[in-house]
Structures are given as structure tokens and as C-alpha cells.
């Protein structure tokens, strides 16, 4: 229980830092300038070469990095075991869909997996959240004049596609 509270505390600290950095993007120039110094010569050059292909490559790259961080920073065996148990519970829930009491009991068991899964997947999130927030702020500056806020939708769709491919390719739970 103490480990879970510590993990949650770190999660909230990192999220607060991320939000603070994102909120100070325009008022603290060193944040924006530092990110621009790193991303303009790499991702920016790619996007200047060809906006659409560059955007797809950037989405694929970020999806790859996030997928690999999930694979190597979380306990994949434990996640697979939890998914296996959840699948068994789902099958039992189908059997007992006419029995509300038994169904409620199975749903309670299923809810017990949420904190376990969260704790396992928390570590990669802690390491990747600040870079992703900074990348999104840079994306916003770059793409908002061209696409408005629609770039977020394009990014999400692309990230879902590439993440699915990479998760299958690298056997990520």
C-alpha cells in the first residue's frame, strides 16, 4: 500500500511539474528556447522538408519511444498475468449475466486489478510525461497556424495506429 501511495505521489508531482512547464511556455523564454534548440534542427527540419510525411515520421518515432518505454520500464509478465485473469473474469461474467449478485461480485474482483495495472504502468509515464508535454507545446506552436487545433486529432489517430503496430511488433502487454 505504501508503494502505491509513493507511486501516486511521484505521478502527481511529475504531472504538476509538466503542467507548470507547459503553462510557463511563453512567459519563461528559456523553456521554449531550449525545446526549440533541440527540436527545430531535428523534427523541425523534417517537417520543413515535407509537412505530411514529416508529421507521420514524428508520430511514428514518438509512438516507438513510448512503446519501448512501456516494454522496458514496466513488468510485462505481471501485466500479461493480470490481462489473463481479467479475460477469465470476463468469461465468467458472461456466464453469470443473469445472476446480478454473482455479476456484482465478479465486477468487484475486476475493479481490484485497476490499481495494480496503474502501478505497473506508472513508471514509464513518469519518465516520458515531461518530454511529451514539451513536444506537444512545440507541436502546438508549429501546427496551430497551419491546422488549428485539428493537429491534435491527427496526432491521436496516427499515434493509435503506430502504437498498435509497435505493441504487436514488440509484444508489449
Q: Crossing angle for the helix pair 100-111 and 113-147, nearest 10 degrees?
A: 70
Supply 86's cell numbers: 481479467
Residue 2: the pLDDT is 60
Nearest to 89 by CA among 108, 119, 110: 110
Residue 3 has pLDDT above 70, yes or no: no
Distance CA 82, CA 13 (A): 27
Distance CA 35, CA 138 (A): 7
Q: 34: pLDDT confidence band, cut at 50, 70 and 90? A: very high
Supply 73's cell numbers: 520500464
Amino acid at each position: 500500500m505504501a508503494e502505491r501511495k509513493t507511486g501516486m505521489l511521484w505521478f502527481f508531482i511529475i504531472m504538476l511539474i509538466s503542467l507548470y512547464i507547459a503553462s510557463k511556455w511563453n512567459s519563461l523564454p528559456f523553456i521554449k528556447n531550449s525545446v526549440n534548440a533541440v527540436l527545430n534542427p531535428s523534427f523541425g527540419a523534417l517537417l520543413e522538408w515535407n509537412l505530411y510525411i514529416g508529421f507521420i515520421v514524428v508520430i511514428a518515432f514518438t509512438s516507438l519511444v513510448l512503446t519501448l518505454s512501456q516494454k522496458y520500464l514496466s513488468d510485462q509478465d505481471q501485466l500479461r498475468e493480470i490481462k489473463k485473469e481479467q479475460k477469465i473474469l470476463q468469461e465468467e461474467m458472461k456466464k453469470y449475466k443473469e445472476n446480478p449478485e454473482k455479476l456484482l461480485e465478479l465486477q468487484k474482483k475486476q475493479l481490484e486489478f485497476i490499481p495494480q495495472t496503474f502501478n505497473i504502468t506508472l513508471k514509464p509515464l513518469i519518465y516520458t510525461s515531461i518530454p511529451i508535454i514539451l513536444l506537444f507545446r512545440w507541436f502546438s506552436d508549429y501546427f496551430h497556424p497551419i491546422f488549428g487545433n485539428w493537429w491534435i486529432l491527427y496526432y491521436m489517430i496516427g499515434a493509435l495506429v503506430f502504437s498498435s503496430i509497435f505493441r504487436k511488433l514488440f509484444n508489449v502487454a
